[in-house]
Amino acid sequence: MRGAVLLLITLALFLACSKQPDAGKQLRTAQSWHATIDLVSDALHRGKVTAKYAKQVAEVAQEELAKEGGDDHESHVAIEAARALRAETEKRR
């Protein structure tokens, strides 16, 4: 019985620790989305993509960044870039 309790506690600790966000992954995700938003924004200004496409990218970026829950500077910058791109697409309607 004592062994089973110890096993359950160990398993619970393992699962709790494994669900913690990886700061490195969050940073890479934010940097990747920021780069994507910059590319799409540039393409929008050059007329290479439609405003509808750019808006979709901005929306997905915002959703994915919110899921990551990053509270670091790069995440905030990427979210703001996504908001700016979305606002730009609204002006082009």
| pLDDT for position 74 | 92
**Residue 16, domain member (yes or no):** no
| pLDDT for position 4 | 55
The answer to whether 58 and 83 are in contact (CB under 8 A) is yes
**Residue 37, domain member (yes or no):** yes
| pLDDT for position 24 | 84
**Residue 13, domain member (yes or no):** no
Report d(CA 8, CA 58) in Å as an integer: 43
Q: Is the dihedral of CA 32, 38, 42, 47 positive or negative?
A: positive
**Residue 9, domain member (yes or no):** no
**Residue 5, domain member (yes or no):** no
pLDDT one-digit tens code per residue, 15-66: 555 555 677 888 899 999 999 999 999 999 999 999 999 999 999 999 999 9
Structural domain count of the chain: 1
Domain boundaries, position 31: 22-91
| pLDDT for position 73 | 92
**Residue 69, domain member (yes or no):** yes
**Residue 28, domain member (yes or no):** yes
Say if residue 8's pLDDT is above 70. Answer: no
| pLDDT for position 39 | 97
**Residue 81, domain member (yes or no):** yes
Say if residue 5's pLDDT is above 80. Answer: no
Looking at residue 22, its amino acid is: D
| pLDDT for position 21 | 60
